[in-house]
Structure 1
Amino acid sequence: MTTKEYRPGTAFPGVIGRTADESTPAWPEPVRAATGTPNVLFVALDDTGFGQLGCYGGPMATPNMDSLAANGLLYNNMHTTALCSPSRSCIVTGRNHHANAMALVTEFSTGYPGYNGRIPFENGFISEILVAQGFNTYMIGKWHLVPSEYESAAGPYDRWPLGRGFDRFYGFLGGDTSQWHPDLVYDNHQIEPPATPEEGYHLTPDLVDKAISFIADAKQVAPDKPFFLYFCPGATHAPHHVPREWADHYRGQFDEGWDAYREAAFARQKERGVAPPHARLSRHDPDVPEWDSLSPDARRLAARMMEVYAGFLSHTDHHIGRLLDFLKESGEFDNTLIMLVSDNGASPEGGVTGTTNESQFFNNAPEPIEDSLRSIDEIGGPTTFNHYPWGWTWAGNTPFRRWKRETYRGGASDPFLVHWPSGIKARGEIRTQYAHIIDMVPTVLDVIGVEPPATIKGVAQSPMHGLSFAHTFDDASAPTRHRTQYFEMMGHRAIDHDGWRAVCPWPGPSFKEAGKPFGSPITSRTLSDLDAEGWELYHIDEDFAETEDLADGERAKLTEMVSLWYTEAGKYGVLPIDGSGVQRLMQERPQIFAARSSYTFRPGTETMPAAVAPRVLNRPFTITADAEIPAGGAEGVFLCQGTNVGGFTFYMKDHKLHYAHNYLRRALYTVSSAEKVPTGRHELRVEFEPAGEPDVAEGKGVPGRAQLYIDRRLVGEAGIPVTTAVMFNPGGMTCGANPGSAVTPDYAPPFRFTGLLHTVIVDLSGNLITDADSELRMHLSRQ
């Protein structure tokens, strides 16, 4: 007997009598995708430049990604927003980033509609659309699409992956994470990595393992049910973490420097047709030193940093290959529509010399090259949070100028591959049609024959901003449909229209020429001056890499383009224009809890993300542990924040209290109690009292004095000459243990407290203990 089904919402087609024997059943029809519907795989690389993949002329070995190009399509005119969260919002919604309220990364959100970091529910995700079409939907890796203050166990969870249409999630919520000690979330809860670096753990193979298992779990039950997999490795964002043997494979291959890299990569691009025959290589960037001007030590350090990056990219390609191999072995490969893209150009966050600790960039505290050299053999390993120098950033975006965060083509023109053997006849061809990542969702919907829904979960949907480029799959000469696209990133603006490109760089074409640093604010007067004199004009159809500014000779065209930029800006919520950096990072944002000065922690709870943790930097604070010490003593962490590349920890070891502040991996400042903690229940406290003002511009937080107390008796104190100025990154705060990498080498993680820890209270009110007698005794003992 055939089961009768009916579409939910339509009339019941069965018969309902007085009893079952005189009735006929019918069932609501399950959601099923049409027979033959392809699987969809989006791979979003991170900070991978136009000139880094092998198929785009880069010198790194990327055979698996190259195979997608060789058996599919390579696009040389795909564009992004020039930054990660904004680009990722476009990839999954098909709408422009300001319309997604994602003008910048979520950590820099501000209180304006285009900037608040809360993607409107009327901008539905592709996952929400496809799950309603009978797909399984999986998100693996980097999310970075939820306001930072929503990343904690308190939620809300409606903007986490499972709240936006994904069936399963395994990855990390923020912008970056250690590849050795990642901040992992499984579905809707934190977990610890399944192994340690010493046991061979690395995040990328773990992500691939989970992607394979998610697909296999469902396919063994419903083999014909298609999947949508959004696969977002942390690679190749900093930290450039990779097993040493992968980096060592590239020993000596970058010793000739970044200019030589660019020349060779550009030659390969022209040879392969990635760059057109008439293309010219963009100028030497004024912010990048000439390779020959560097000292031998500086060249050795820079070359090693690039070797590590190259190994990281090849390692990532290898594990993407494992995912592709699984699809082949399971018979899913030919009917999987794969789109691989980078979210922006190569990243400049390593500074002019590179860094062993990216947190130094965010804290305005670049390390001296001598410090970096002492760690040269550790670069890429668990003790570093490394990033290469600007020269490699610039080279990685060959042939374009500049980099991530800026809307020149080096920031916004990125690798893009499409592969679908069952649906595309063309093999190994290059497509030159203009495209933007907002076009990816419309293209998928076009391919599977689905109209954008009018509503999702009862919410009326906004129109898609992107356009399908499926018509280019088998027609290299098909016309470009995407004719106009605006750009704005931290005040850096551009617009493309019919082969022309206008760019208004901020703070200037380079930092050296501008005389201003990245993140400089824009005033209304500044904006007027920029609109009058700051725009550049390029005929991209004739000048692929923005080498000849035509603004002086084509004033009418420039005026047209600037006017068009403002039209698009008004349409998509771009205003107000804001060039500021650190000011936005440090801005207070609405929290789901009322403002308070006291926080109570308990052991065994989840790590509290930095965005919602009590902010202890540049202010007085106390940390008080209510702990019971058993006979024989106890040891372990009461409270810590950060990792081995920066943070603080309050802990007990060798029967004594200790507090340590790790200043950007550069210095470790400690204080220990002069006496042991007795057995029994005690109030154990550390206080920090500032003794000066911070100098954030120079990367220095407040100096101060740390004091240790047992039951309100002073038992230890020490001066701390400098503290972290802006942020710990990674910056989670944990009670009762130090997961991941240890803040101090004085103990091995996780160093869980072995006594009975009731609570730990962080107080930011500034009410400090004054124990004159104890202080006098302490000072006398130091004479």
Structure 2
Amino acid sequence: MVNGKRTYSTDEFRGTIGRTYAESEPWWPEQIRSPPGAPNILIIVLDDVGFGQMSCYGGPVETPNMDKLAANGLRYNNFHTTALCSPTRACLLTGRNHHSVGMASITELATGFPGYNGRMPKDKATVAAMLRENGYNTFCLGKWHNTPDNETGPAGPYDRWPTGEMMGFDRFYGFLGGECNQYAPSLYWDNHPIEPPKLMHEGYHLSEDLADTAKLFIANHESVAPDKPWFMFLAFGACHAPHHVPEEWSDKYKGKFDKGWDKAREETLARQKKMGIVPKNTELAPPNPGVQAWKDLSADEKKLFARFMEVFAGFLSHTDHQIGKLVEFLKEIGDLDNTLIFIISDNGASAEGGLTGSVNEMRWANAIPETVEESLDMIDEIGGPRSYNHYPVGWTQAGNTPFKWYKQYTHYGGIKDPMVVHWPMGISARGEIRSQFHHAIDIVPTILEAVGIEPPEEIGGYQQKRIEGVSMLYSFNDGKVPTKKPIQYFEMLGNRAIWYNGWKAVTYHGRLPWESGSRWTFDEDKWELYNVEDDFSECHDLADKHPEKLRELVELWWAEAGKYNVLPLDDRFHERIQAREELEERTKFTFYPGAVRIPEGSAPNVKNRSHTITAYVEIPKSGAEGVICAIGGVPAGWSLYIKDKKLVYCHNFVGTRYYVRSDTNVPSGEVKIGFEFKKTGENTGKGILTINDKKVGEAKIPHTVPHIYSASESFDIGCDFGSPVTEEYNTPFKFTGTIKKVLIELSGKKHLSPEAETKVAMMRQ
């Protein structure tokens, strides 16, 4: 007390309080404000788009809206990522190397080592949290894939979801996993799952929805706080598989890829040279191992493979159109000139479609061969809601022109990616190309310098570790200044590389994208050496000519590896998943109504083992229909439901559906519903339906899904919350009776082969 008045010295209140307001002094906390003239920040992340696919990089796919941004801004031809999605996103958001923030690879391959645990540390908060501390509103839309997969269910925890304090986003609208069905995505608004009716109306597509919601977030912001800047991280699901796009977009490219991928590579490189995207002396890297020559394919293969690429091209053009809508909106509201826009791909083009591509990628993931003839029967469905498609590796190779290898690899096909930068108020240059070496960790310090702030020393009570990237702002208006970044290491799934002052050492660790493990040990890796100042596409290995330079770079790699949590090197796949799943294995589950959007990895693993489902429900006198429980969707899965008063179980075996139906109606009142799967062989068995413990239906299920239903669909009680498992209903097909609880009990030991474990992991990238 001072002179009879109570004083406060805390941050909550710094005035004084007397007996009445006349004897008191009010105090208002100072508003957090950004520096004057601070730009809005928009990071647009494309998925699996290679260096040679967009037309502004000489590619064959028309991207007129990104071309306009490039013509009015900059293109970088020496920008690098980590070769995989989750790690690159972690770098873009934190300004630190991916091992530094525990994101060595995808979250599903996390282990108990600091660089590999899949948990972004709280002393290395995101740029969203930094900007929010400096007066920005922050928005995240689209693909996230930076939350541990076992924390993405309805029980959380939510601190590593986008709206968690250290993640820094005020709003989130998107999906948490590595890929999704573009027609029926598993979306969240902040931390709340969105019901499918909003999503499943005719004409829906996720990319359009993301662009529209981005406009909504910005419009709401500008309506209330037009003087306050905003930061948006907009990560499209495109162009990750499945390549889903309305037919009119893919049909624009009919016949344009009949020339094949070998000719497409040559034409792309010629355009890249003419445009100045690559140096005039750039050579086309030799074909990657296993890729077929186009001339050696059959007529049916050429027809099918060309259509796969037409659909991918339509998908990318369709995404470009959504970007154009957002940019036009920014122009209309007067935000475009002072919005710093980055358009970045998270890694090179993806080779996970294998040698022949796939109409239903879940067949590849489950080691179920998909012949060209079977795919041809579905050729008119490719890109539509009945498909889950990915193109063959030959188009991946063409998409990474002029480089070697693909996503997952530390050769340039995996890590050198397109980046367009647009900021009229901050960049005087127009349509120029920048060749300074930079990496995804350099985006955060660039943003901080552009805004005019230092990284906060503390966020949310956690002392913050240093930013590891280097600002590239110096390059915005000077194309000739040397790079200010001296060194950068790379490691992905055992593949390794280091860039140092224009030289690069790199090693391939002996595993093709569709294989389960390396053919040799780390000690047997053969390091290659390139002078990438002169050899843009890594065509001339100088390891034998300059052994001392190679030794210097390899030693530098080990030093950087020790510095940034890259050790211990770990090239395992199935063991990393299996160890965690065995640790968390449960055999008895009880679910209650409202339990939805449970990730497959957290759901009961009924695959290839006997199990029972028991549901206690109440049926009104008029009857009821709807899903009791379901998992998966169009690609694969199962559903237990009531339709036309009959109890039905459907097992979707990667597109072939097997049914068990009751021979009597489900009665009204309190009813005990039962389904039992009795395993009779490897991935085969019979299904038995019961009502009030009386058998009412039985049928063989000759083939069951062995390994994975989907990389994006969920397990749901009382509805089917994604795409429909069966064509007998439209989602969500909510149960119209009352579910009291659903019990699932597993028996027998689950088994997943090493090859299958790897494919499951790769599906989630």
Q: TM-score, normalised by structure 2?
A: 0.93
AA in 2 matched with 1:211: A
Listed as ranges, the matches of 1:246-285 within 5 Å are: 246-285=249-288
- Displacement of 1:119 in angstroms is 0.4
Structure 1 residues 11, 598: CA separation in 2 closer, same or farther (over 3 Å shift)? closer
- Displacement of 1:220 in angstroms is 1.2
Residue equivalent to 1:549 = 541
Residue equivalent to 1:703 = 684
Distance 1:239 1:363 in 2: 16
1:598 aligns with 2:579: no
AA in 2 matched with 1:612: S
Residue equivalent to 2:37 = 36
AA in 2 matched with 1:267: A
Q: Deviations over 1:685-704 (max 9, x none)?
A: 111222334xxxxxxxx222
1:520 aligns with 2:520: no
Q: Secondary structure at the match of 2:102?
A: coil
1:329 aligns with 2:318: no
Q: Deviations over 1:194-223 (max 9, x none)?
A: 645552111111111111111111111111
Distance 1:24 1:732 in 2: 56
- Displacement of 1:754 in angstroms is 2.8
Q: Deviations over 1:107-157 (max 9, x none)?
A: 221222111111001111000000010001000111111011111111111
Q: Secondary structure at the match of 1:611?
A: helix
Residue equivalent to 1:558 = 550
Q: For 1:449, which of 441, 447, 452 is the aligned residue?
A: 452
Residue equivalent to 1:608 = 598
Q: Does the CA contact (< 8 Å) of 1:601 and 1:761 recur in 2? A: yes
Distance 2:199 2:86 in 1: 29
Structure 1 residues 233, 11: CA separation in 2 closer, same or farther (over 3 Å shift)? closer
1:734 aligns with 2:729: no
- Displacement of 1:15 in angstroms is 7.5
Residue equivalent to 1:62 = 63
Distance 2:10 2:414 in 1: 48
Listed as ranges, the matches of 1:402-413 within 5 Å are: 402-413=405-416
Which range moved further: 612-621 or 331-340?
612-621
Q: For 1:745, which of 724, 727, 738 is the aligned residue?
A: 727
Q: Does the CA contact (< 8 Å) of 1:197 and 1:382 recur in 2? A: no
Residue equivalent to 2:210 = 207
Listed as ranges, the matches of 1:37-186 within 5 Å are: 37-163=38-164, 164-186=167-189
Residue equivalent to 2:666 = 677
Q: Does the CA contact (< 8 Å) of 2:327 and 2:336 recur in 1? A: yes
Residue equivalent to 1:381 = 384
Structure 1 residues 645, 486: CA separation in 2 closer, same or farther (over 3 Å shift)? same
Q: Does the CA contact (< 8 Å) of 1:608 and 1:733 recur in 2? A: yes
Q: For 2:342, which of 318, 339, 342 is the aligned residue?
A: 339
1:713 aligns with 2:716: no
- Displacement of 1:674 in angstroms is 3.6
1:490 aligns with 2:493: yes
Listed as ranges, the matches of 1:529-548 within 5 Å are: 529-530=524-525, 534-548=526-540
Aligned residues: 739
Q: Does the CA contact (< 8 Å) of 1:522 and 1:577 recur in 2? A: no
Q: Deviations over 1:294-313 (max 9, x none)?
A: 11111111111111111111
Residue equivalent to 1:621 = 611
Structure 1 residues 522, 282: CA separation in 2 closer, same or farther (over 3 Å shift)? closer
Q: Does the CA contact (< 8 Å) of 2:258 and 2:302 recur in 1? A: yes
AA in 2 matched with 1:568: E
Q: Deviations over 1:75-120 (max 9, x none)?
A: 0000000000000000000001111111111122122211111100
AA in 1 matched with 2:576: R
Q: Does the CA contact (< 8 Å) of 1:522 and 1:578 recur in 2? A: no
Distance 1:14 1:86 in 2: 47
Q: For 2:625, which of 635, 652, 660 is the aligned residue?
A: 635
Distance 2:193 2:578 in 1: 26
1:761 aligns with 2:743: yes
AA in 2 matched with 1:563: E
Listed as ranges, the matches of 1:368-517 within 5 Å are: 368-507=371-510
Q: Does the CA contact (< 8 Å) of 1:598 and 1:765 recur in 2? A: no
Distance 1:9 1:346 in 2: 54
Structure 1 residues 713, 11: CA separation in 2 closer, same or farther (over 3 Å shift)? closer
Distance 1:17 1:721 in 2: 81
Structure 1 residues 301, 350: CA separation in 2 closer, same or farther (over 3 Å shift)? same
Q: Secondary structure at the match of 1:319?
A: helix
Q: Secondary structure at the match of 1:127?
A: helix
- More relative contact order in 1 or in 2 (CA 8 Å, sep 6+)? 2
Q: Deviations over 1:662-683 (max 9, x none)?
A: 1122x22222234443333222
Structure 1 residues 705, 471: CA separation in 2 closer, same or farther (over 3 Å shift)? same
Distance 2:643 2:29 in 1: 63
Q: Does the CA contact (< 8 Å) of 1:686 and 1:709 recur in 2? A: yes
Q: Secondary structure at the match of 1:199?
A: coil
- Displacement of 1:20 in angstroms is 4.0
- Displacement of 1:168 in angstroms is 0.7
Q: Deviations over 1:302-339 (max 9, x none)?
A: 11111111111111111101110111111110001111
AA in 2 matched with 1:655: K
Distance 1:298 1:53 in 2: 25
Q: Does the CA contact (< 8 Å) of 2:250 and 2:312 recur in 1? A: yes
Listed as ranges, the matches of 1:290-301 within 5 Å are: 290-301=293-304
Distance 2:585 2:574 in 1: 22
Distance 2:492 2:370 in 1: 27
Q: Does the CA contact (< 8 Å) of 2:596 and 2:721 recur in 1? A: no
Identity, % of aligned positions: 51
Structure 1 residues 744, 477: CA separation in 2 closer, same or farther (over 3 Å shift)? same
Distance 1:747 1:46 in 2: 32
Q: Does the CA contact (< 8 Å) of 2:38 and 2:450 recur in 1? A: no
Q: Secondary structure at the match of 2:204?
A: coil
Residue equivalent to 1:228 = 231
Q: Deviations over 1:449-505 (max 9, x none)?
A: 211121111101111110001111111111112121111111111111111111110
Residue equivalent to 2:758 = none
Q: Does the CA contact (< 8 Å) of 2:632 and 2:722 recur in 1? A: no
AA in 2 matched with 1:720: I
- Displacement of 1:234 in angstroms is 0.7
Q: Does the CA contact (< 8 Å) of 2:366 and 2:707 recur in 1? A: yes
- Displacement of 1:574 in angstroms is 1.1
Residue equivalent to 1:653 = 643
Distance 2:398 2:353 in 1: 14
Q: Does the CA contact (< 8 Å) of 1:75 and 1:432 recur in 2? A: yes
Structure 1 residues 628, 536: CA separation in 2 closer, same or farther (over 3 Å shift)? same
- Displacement of 1:10 in angstroms is 8.0
Distance 1:9 1:157 in 2: 29
1:578 aligns with 2:570: yes
Structure 1 residues 587, 244: CA separation in 2 closer, same or farther (over 3 Å shift)? farther
- Displacement of 1:11 in angstroms is 12
Q: Secondary structure at the match of 1:49?
A: coil
Q: Does the CA contact (< 8 Å) of 1:349 and 1:361 recur in 2? A: no
Distance 2:128 2:196 in 1: 26
Residue equivalent to 1:315 = 318
- Displacement of 1:166 in angstroms is 0.6
Structure 1 residues 552, 9: CA separation in 2 closer, same or farther (over 3 Å shift)? farther
AA in 2 matched with 1:654: D
AA in 2 matched with 1:541: E
AA in 2 matched with 1:51: G
Structure 1 residues 632, 224: CA separation in 2 closer, same or farther (over 3 Å shift)? closer
Which range moved further: 202-211 or 26-35?
26-35
Structure 1 residues 184, 196: CA separation in 2 closer, same or farther (over 3 Å shift)? closer
Q: Does the CA contact (< 8 Å) of 1:491 and 1:522 recur in 2? A: no
Q: Does the CA contact (< 8 Å) of 1:522 and 1:579 recur in 2? A: no
Distance 1:193 1:627 in 2: 23
Residue equivalent to 1:304 = 307
